[in-house]
């Protein structure tokens, strides 16, 4: 038998109802805040991701699904959505009428990481972005939205960690202070940190290798190196979150795994998922639109790991599985023909009605009705058809009554509205 690719997974119908509900709740919230859905392709030119995420990141160095298409052009299955949304914004000149745009999207992303609980090679993100707003209130709005969404979904055991990564004016000063600190400890750092130290020393701050963690324990803090503008920006984000009642922790080691960030960065961490503790991450990326060939405009955003979110919501998948309202147990060819007409009419009216097409015995049809979770079962044989009435059984209470077959949809609707 052909099996799934390692790190990929199926979302079965039993779980898909919960996924749909979460997506609906998120979309409603985003729409209420003026975000609009954007749908972007699953593949892009490799260059788009290499340039925006950064050549020295784990994602670009070793995790992208990149291959030549039949003409030899290098294409990549998207590892994230931000770069594509920026590409689309520039390509369609969406900034021309009004540079301020808010987007959201949901969909699969691909990273060839080592699979484990909460880490997949195809995973899903719920993504939101604000383009054209430099104000720290845009960052605060995004963190507020995450907090609000997680509350609506009954998620507890999460904490928002925030940091500032400075800007092109102040980051170089921090980088050289960090490099000075690392120079004395270079031999204790892992090969990745050593190799990246020149171009990307910030990554060493959140390296998970124990020796690196020890070596970096007393590293200088970026927050001590922020320029006045970056400090004001960060202070306003913190004050706005405090005023909104959003709890957060300042985490000076939070550096994120993508290179495009400037100023505010944040992650939502949970204690419920073992090693994969980040349920969402994001931040400001004021240089990316221009770097990809667009005008010089600021931007900020986040992505939620949908697969991880599903694991920690306070909702149960079984509460979002739809069951038929009615199962029609039809006995005999004429009853079956009529039952088929009724089930189509009921389905069209928004009332899910199932039946058995195989002409099985009453006993086996009742077994199937029970397994389907139907609220009511209608038992119709040739005799009932001739008499114009049939037995309707309430599966929960086991009560039975005879109902008229003349306007079956109305009869069923009446009972469903009595017990919605």
Q: Which residues contact 98 (CB under 8 A, 6 or more apart)?
A: 132
Among 22, 255, 280, 328, binds ligand HAM (CB under 6 A): 280
- Total residues at interface with ligand HAM (CB under 6 A): 26
User: Coil, helix or strand for 141?
Assistant: helix
123 makes contact with ligand HAM (CB under 6 A)? yes
Give whichever of 142 and 395 is closer to ligand HAM, judged by the CB atom: 142
50 makes contact with ligand HAM (CB under 6 A)? no
298 makes contact with ligand HAM (CB under 6 A)? no
Among positions 185-244, residues that touch ligand HAM (CB under 6 A) are none
Give whichever of 256 and 393 is closer to ligand HAM, judged by the CB atom: 256
The answer to whether 83 and 49 are in contact (CB under 8 A) is yes
Among positions 126-185, residues that touch ligand HAM (CB under 6 A) are 127, 129
78 makes contact with ligand HAM (CB under 6 A)? no
φ, ψ for residue 186 (rounded to 5)? Answer: -50, -40
Among 149, 170, 189, 278, binds ligand HAM (CB under 6 A): 278
- Candidates 92, 90, 149, 137; CA nearest to 303 is 149
φ, ψ for residue 367 (rounded to 5)? Answer: -65, -45
325 makes contact with ligand HAM (CB under 6 A)? no
89 makes contact with ligand HAM (CB under 6 A)? no
The answer to whether 33 and 102 are in contact (CB under 8 A) is yes
257 makes contact with ligand HAM (CB under 6 A)? yes
Query: Hey, how many other C-beta atoms are within 10 angstroms of the C-beta on 298?
Result: 21
* Residue 270, token pair as written in the block: 């949970």
DSSP string covering 161-181, please?
EEEE---TTTHHHHHHHHHHH
Give whichever of 302 and 376 is closer to ligand HAM, judged by the CB atom: 302
Among 160, 205, 303, 369, binds ligand HAM (CB under 6 A): 303
Among positions 97-116, residues that touch ligand HAM (CB under 6 A) are 111, 113
Give whichever of 271 and 333 is closer to ligand HAM, judged by the CB atom: 271
- Candidates 308, 291, 311, 208; CA nearest to 255 is 208
Give whichever of 201 and 305 is closer to ligand HAM, judged by the CB atom: 305
Which residue's C-beta sits nearest to ligand HAM?
305
What length is written for the chain?
420
| Options 99-107, 229-237, 300-308, 315-323: segment touching ligand HAM (CB under 6 A) | 300-308
The answer to whether 304 and 279 are in contact (CB under 8 A) is yes
278 vs 160: CA distance, rounded Å: 10
Give whichever of 57 and 365 is closer to ligand HAM, judged by the CB atom: 57
User: Coil, helix or strand for 69?
Assistant: coil
* Residue 80, token pair as written in the block: 């994230």
Contact set with ligand HAM (CB under 6 A): 80-82, 111, 113, 119-120, 123, 125, 127, 129, 257-258, 278-283, 285, 301-303, 305, 307-308
């Amino acid at each position: 038998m052909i099996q799934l690719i390692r790190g990929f997974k199926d979302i079965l119908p039993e779980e898909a109802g919960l996924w749909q509900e979460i997506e609906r709740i998120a979309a409603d919230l985003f729409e209420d805040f003026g975000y609009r859905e954007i749908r972007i392709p699953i593949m892009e030119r490799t260059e788009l991701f290499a340039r925006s995420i950064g050549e020295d990141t784990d994602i670009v160095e070793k995790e992208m699904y990149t291959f030549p298409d039949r003409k030899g052009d290098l294409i990549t299955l998207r590892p994230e959505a931000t770069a594509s949304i920026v590409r689309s914004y520039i390509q369609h000149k969406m900034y021309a009428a009004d540079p301020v745009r808010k987007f959201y999207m949901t969909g699969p992303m691909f990273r060839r990481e080592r699979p484990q609980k909460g880490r997949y090679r195809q995973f899903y993100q719920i993504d939101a972005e604000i383009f054209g707003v430099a104000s720290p209130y845009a960052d605060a709005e995004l963190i507020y939205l995450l907090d609000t969404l997680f509350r609506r979904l009954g998620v507890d055991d999460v904490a928002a960690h925030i940091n500032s990564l400075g800007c092109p004016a102040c980051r170089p000063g921090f980088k050289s202070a960090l490099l000075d600190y690392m120079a004395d400890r270079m031999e204790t750092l892992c090969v990745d940190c050593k190799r990246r130290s020149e171009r990307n020393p910030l990554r060493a701050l959140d390296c998970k290798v124990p020796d690196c963690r020890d070596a970096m324990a007393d590293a200088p803090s970026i927050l001590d190196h922020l320029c006045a503008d970056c400090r004001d920006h960060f202070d306003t984000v913190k004050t706005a979150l405090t005023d909104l009642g959003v709890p957060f922790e300042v985490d000076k080691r939070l550096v994120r795994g993508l290179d495009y960030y400037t100023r505010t960065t944040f992650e939502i961490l949970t204690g419920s998922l073992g090693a994969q503790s980040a349920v969402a991450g994001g931040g400001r990326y004021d240089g990316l639109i221009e770097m990809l060939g667009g005008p010089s405009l600021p931007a900020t955003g986040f992505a939620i790991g949908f697969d991880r979110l599903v694991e920690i919501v306070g909702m149960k998948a079984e509460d979002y599985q739809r069951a038929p309202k009615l199962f029609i147990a039809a006995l005999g060819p004429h009853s079956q023909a009529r039952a088929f007409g009724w089930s189509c009419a009921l389905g069209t009216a928004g009332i899910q009605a199932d039946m058995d097409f195989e002409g099985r015995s009453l006993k086996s049809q009742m077994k199937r009705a029970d397994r389907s979770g139907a609220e009511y079962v209608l038992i119709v044989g040739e005799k009932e058809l001739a008499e114009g009435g049939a037995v309707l059984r309430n599966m929960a209470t086991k009560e039975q009554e005879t109902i008229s077959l003349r306007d079956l949809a109305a009869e069923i609707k009446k009972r469903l509205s009595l017990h919605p």
